[in-house]
Structure 1
Amino acid sequence: MSVGWIRPVSGLAASQIVMDDRIAQAEAPPGLYRLDRNWHCDRIWLQVRNVLGIPAPRVYGWSSSTDNPVRAEYILMERSGGVELGKIWHDMPWEERLEVIRTLVGYEKAFVSANLPMHGSLYYAKDLPSPSPSQFLDSVNSIDKGETFVVGPTTNRAFFDQGRGSVEVNRGPWPSLNEFVHSRAARELACIDKFSSYPGQQGLFSGPNQYHPTRALKVEVLGDYLKVATQILPTDANLSKPTLWHSDLHSDNIFVDPSQPTRILNIIDWQAVNVSPLFLQARHPSLIEFEGPIPEGFEPIILPDGFDDMSEETQHQAKNLRAAQSLYKLYEILILRRCPEIAHALHFRDTLPGQITGLASSIFSDGEPILKGMLIQLQDEWATCVRSSIPCPLSFTPEDRTQQKRLEASWSEGVELMHEILTEVGAYQGWDGWVNHNNYPVYKERLARCRENFLDRYAKTEEERSQWIQAWPFEDKTHSPTSL
């Protein structure tokens, strides 16, 4: 039987699409439909389905090497039944939406309940050369030790995306939290040392009179971070326990029974799932995120003043915002009641130490002026954030503070420019700029027109026009960042 139903997926890189085309010529059992390069998903799915009781597709076959007829790593799994939740979510009654959220909270509680020995990713014991006894999971009771789960090197995208996979760094597993956070910083420093460009920047930088990212500032900021990295970690061991987490629970990754929409049949897209500290893993499900203010506390959420005098369209928008805010807050209430560890981890993420720890892991790409500002704030609030009995190792001069404010303002202007461009182009940004094959010519032409409009608006001279063209970040390319 031909596996012609495996098709290029909107947003995948060209190399992945070619791989899909190859696999389409192979033979496979019926019922399979999805291909994934991250072959460790086989272990993840078995763990979450068989041990944690979370619905995930069954895996029928996989290869962790390119030594096969397909000449690529792959996974073949069962086709998910039902429909994507996103197709019916907005038509579901309030009570049914809340029931779905209750189910997701139950899954997240199961994640936290798993006893995982260290940080990294799940493997079969037989797939690692010599796993130590401390790497084995207590929750798996198998006679065949080769089929038991162990924690091995991480497959976290943060260690591979945007050129990071080409640097030689410690990818775990990490027995301690201190080793884990130091490895993240060492990875960023290794990338800064190896590459001369910085992929994944949030703003349009390096144009005339703009913010210019520099290696010197990135290294300096990471050096300051390492002075405090272990001192700002949570003191509650429950917040840093090794935890599995699905970080992309949006409505198209959740399949439900259309005749009973509160019944979740499958959750897909596990390829980036890894074992990391809870306070870095926990996040609100993408399903309940929304544009707009998040209310403080847990008071009932009411419609705005003057609601009765608003237009019908404005009233509709106000009701939708209230519904989104209410669902968001109900999720937080459920988490607080059923798994306070997650609630406390979400709170810690929002604290200054939590924000610093999170941002420090992406400085190779971006954010060094922001992180420096946070470190300056940490020095000012050291006694509150850490302990007054511990001397603060940071020391920023008035000149450092003035320079940081200037750089952050310049950086923010670049972020606003990028937002302006992406809004004008109108392409979905969730796949790093990849668009549907059929829409490619349309967006390519739209981007070219946007570029000319931008140059006409912002280039005052021919020299500035040349500088803006040099700084323009959008182009078709599949290679890694330019190597020194």
Structure 2
Amino acid sequence: MVVHTLWKLGNLLARRNRLISTTATRRFEPENFYAYTSGRWIHDENRQLSLRYRSFNADALKKVVAHAAGGNSVLKMEKLAEGSYNKVFVLTLDNGQELIARIPTVLAGPGKLVTASEVATMDYARSLGVPVPRVLAWCADASSTPVQSEYIVMEKASGVELGRLWDQMSSDQKDETVREVVNIEKRIMKPFFKAYGSVFYQGDVDSGVVHDRFVVGPNVSLPFWDEERRHMDIDRGPWTDPLSYLKAISSRERKWILNYATSNPHPTLFEPPTHIQDQQAHISLLNRYDAVLPHIIPTKDSILLRSTLWHTDLHFGNIFLSQDDLAEGNIKITAIIDWQHACVLPLYLQARAPRFLPLPDQIPPSPDEEEEEAFDQQAAALANAELANRHELYHTTTAFLNPDYHHALSFSTRDLIITPVQFSGRTWSGGYVPLQNTLIRIVDNWDYLGHRHFPCPIAFSQSEREAHAEDAQEWQVGEDLQVGEDLQVMIQDRIGVQEGGWVSHEGYEDALRRNEELKEQFLQQMPHGKDKDTYLRAWPYRPVV
């Protein structure tokens, strides 16, 4: 099979934590501010660049920043960073202050709601004692400001990104950083609204569940606004019970499939096989999911259902440490940034270890790789042991300081009831086989879920199970639901690109070369009698168009 041949192409490299893309300081040219200048794509580049292009009135933004900081003028404006969702600028004023201004791209979702929610969320987090930069000025209505764009002006995060310090830190300092993160997570666990959605100020949304100055309004997370979903009439909350929220997810996917899903007759290696791209099969599977959904919500455990705001993207670039404290052997977290798209959900769906603590690599090398990898197995084992120990530290510290959150991380049926939720909202983009896999597991473990007194409302015939086993093998889905994703990671690592084919300017030519080399290796394994052009359509990174 196609997937199996790809495993022979090379080693599966360790997953990398990828920080937000940064750009070198450029002289002031408005076009450099508007355009994406921080990298290239080896595939579909023009579309990627257009999605990240955002014009605005830079002079008007400077005036807003100067007024917010009590200065007279901005001496310098530089693009600090940019990603898919924002352009981030640092502005230096005549009074010596440096402030951050963020402009969202179209990929961030509905600018008005996303901006208003992020500002309110940051304010609420600050009220809990979380170190979050203070917002000094903002506008969520692009049509009402001379800046001609939504914007947020905030203090520059004090300290240094954890990612710049981590490799130089001692093991004890890293452990203390983990403990400090748990302390901050404990603050966020303060009892919240009895609703699910996103945080806004009162008055910024038409309706919602009120809590002091704040209100829970519609969910601004990307799955509810991505691509055509932005224009669809769907339920985005707020919701007052978990079943309504979870049904909104499957309903959203069902409606999108019926209105927009089209089958690709020549799927790439990163896409499901053609026979899985069948609308009615997806609708039928989502209907089965909805039938079992009321029975996989932990309704008897109020802790797991409590409304919880959470920062789900705590990677190295979003955590800042005091360098002065670090020099004295102490750890002080000075800022947690990037609260965009944060939302309030049931605790059991929020709980996860921070992204800066990756799980040890659990995928063993294939027999063909063992000999060539023998030389660095000891180093890999030591690295994995350190990661495992730090994960254990995170869990033991959480159990002591934040027991409710630890309960949500470790309750016995966690994987069985959370995994189907994760795939129910994206069956068309690779989630069909994993969702079917989890539903079969639910059927087979029905008694374990505590439902011995009535039968499971869904079933899978023997022929369905056999067909699923074949699909799972081809799509490389195992019990851990990770292997199919690792195929994409492996190819990206071999080429030297990130998701979507992104690569730095410096690495662009090398990535093009490696892509061609890997594509040729793929072509050499083409089955006899197969049409070359048709076979190559499966390769995910074709020439830039």
Deviation of the 1:184 alpha carbon: 0.5
Deviation of the 1:416 alpha carbon: 6.3
Q: In structure 2, what is the Cα distance between the partners aligned to 1:476 and 1:274?
A: 38
Equivalent of 1:383 in 440, 447, 453: 447
Q: Which residue of 1 aligns with 2:457?
A: 393
Equivalent of 1:425 in 471, 495, 505: 495
Q: Which residue of 1 aligns with 2:335?
A: 266
* Aligned-partner residue type, residue 434 of structure 2: I
Please say if residues 9 and 17 of structure 1, whose CA atoms lie closer than 8 Å, have aligned partners that are also in contact: no
- Alignment pair present for 1:126 and 2:191: no
- Alignment pair present for 1:59 and 2:135: yes
Q: Which residue of 1 aligns with 2:210?
A: 136
Q: Which moved more, 1:347-356 or 1:21-30?
A: 21-30
Deviation of the 1:165 alpha carbon: 2.4
Deviation of the 1:103 alpha carbon: 1.4
Please say if residues 56 and 148 of structure 2, whose CA atoms lie closer than 8 Å, have aligned partners that are also in contact: no
Deviation of the 1:443 alpha carbon: 3.2
Q: In structure 2, what is the Cα distance between the partners aligned to 1:232 and 1:241?
A: 16
- What are the residue-to-residue correspondences of 1:292-311 with 2, within 5 Å? 292-293=361-362
- Alignment pair present for 1:283 and 2:283: no
User: Which whole-Å deviations, capped at 9, do the CAs of 1:424-476 have from their partners, x for residues lacking one?
Assistant: 212133xx44333454454345434543443343364462x232344444468
Q: In structure 1, what is the Cα distance between the partners aligned to 2:517 and 2:284?
A: 39
Q: In structure 2, what is the Cα distance between the partners aligned to 1:6 and 1:194?
A: 36
How many residues are aligned here? 442
Q: In structure 2, what is the Cα distance between the partners aligned to 1:344 and 1:313?
A: 37
Equivalent of 1:32 in 81, 99, 114: 99
- The structure-2 alpha-carbon separation of the partners of 1:394 and 1:313, relative to structure 1 and needing over 3 Å to count, comes to closer
* Aligned-partner residue type, residue 356 of structure 1: P
Please say if residues 6 and 33 of structure 1, whose CA atoms lie closer than 8 Å, have aligned partners that are also in contact: no
Equivalent of 1:326 in 389, 394, 398: 389
- The structure-2 alpha-carbon separation of the partners of 1:271 and 1:477, relative to structure 1 and needing over 3 Å to count, comes to farther
> TM (normalized to structure 1)?
0.82
- What are the residue-to-residue correspondences of 1:39-58 with 2, within 5 Å? 39=115, 40-49=117-126, 51-58=127-134
- Alignment pair present for 1:434 and 2:502: yes
Deviation of the 1:374 alpha carbon: 2.0
Q: Which residue of 2 aligns with 1:85?
A: 162
Please say if residues 492 and 501 of structure 2, whose CA atoms lie closer than 8 Å, have aligned partners that are also in contact: no
The gaps in structure 1 that reach 5 residues or longer are 141-147, 295-310, 479-484
- Alignment pair present for 1:467 and 2:534: yes
User: Which whole-Å deviations, capped at 9, do the CAs of 1:333-352 have from their partners, x for residues lacking one?
Assistant: 01111222212212247431
Please say if residues 198 and 364 of structure 1, whose CA atoms lie closer than 8 Å, have aligned partners that are also in contact: no
User: Which whole-Å deviations, capped at 9, do the CAs of 1:78-129 have from their partners, x for residues lacking one?
Assistant: 2222211111112212222122111111121222223222000011111123
Q: In structure 1, what is the Cα distance between the partners aligned to 2:306 and 2:544?
A: 39
Please say if residues 158 and 335 of structure 2, whose CA atoms lie closer than 8 Å, have aligned partners that are also in contact: yes
- Alignment pair present for 1:204 and 2:270: yes
Using the aligned pairs only, state the percent identity. Answer: 27
Q: In structure 1, what is the Cα distance between the partners aligned to 2:442 and 2:541?
A: 36
* Aligned-partner residue type, residue 204 of structure 1: F
Q: Which residue of 2 aligns with 1:213?
A: 277
- Alignment pair present for 1:404 and 2:483: no
Q: Which residue of 2 aligns with 1:302?
A: none
The gaps in structure 2 that reach 5 residues or longer are 1-27, 41-47, 67-92, 105-113, 364-373, 478-483
CA-atom RMSD, angstroms?
Answer: 3.2
Q: Which residue of 2 aligns with 1:339?
A: 402
- What are the residue-to-residue correspondences of 1:65-76 with 2, within 5 Å? 65-67=141-143, 68-76=145-153
- The structure-2 alpha-carbon separation of the partners of 1:416 and 1:313, relative to structure 1 and needing over 3 Å to count, comes to closer
- What are the residue-to-residue correspondences of 1:99-248 with 2, within 5 Å? 99-129=176-206, 131=207, 135-137=209-211, 140=212, 148-197=213-262, 203-205=269-271, 212-234=276-298, 235-248=300-313
* Aligned-partner residue type, residue 411 of structure 1: W
Equivalent of 2:49 in 14, 17, 26: 14
Q: In structure 2, what is the Cα distance between the partners aligned to 1:100 and 1:6?
A: 35
Q: Which moved more, 1:246-255 or 1:34-43?
A: 34-43
Q: In structure 2, what is the Cα distance between the partners aligned to 1:335 and 1:312?
A: 37
* Aligned-partner residue type, residue 52 of structure 1: L
Q: In structure 2, what is the Cα distance between the partners aligned to 1:23 and 1:198?
A: 43
> TM (normalized to structure 2)?
0.73
- The structure-2 alpha-carbon separation of the partners of 1:368 and 1:468, relative to structure 1 and needing over 3 Å to count, comes to same
* Aligned-partner residue type, residue 270 of structure 2: L
Please say if residues 204 and 473 of structure 1, whose CA atoms lie closer than 8 Å, have aligned partners that are also in contact: yes
Match of 2:236, SS state, is coil
Please say if residues 257 and 264 of structure 1, whose CA atoms lie closer than 8 Å, have aligned partners that are also in contact: yes
- The structure-2 alpha-carbon separation of the partners of 1:184 and 1:401, relative to structure 1 and needing over 3 Å to count, comes to same
Please say if residues 221 and 341 of structure 2, whose CA atoms lie closer than 8 Å, have aligned partners that are also in contact: yes
- The structure-2 alpha-carbon separation of the partners of 1:470 and 1:290, relative to structure 1 and needing over 3 Å to count, comes to same
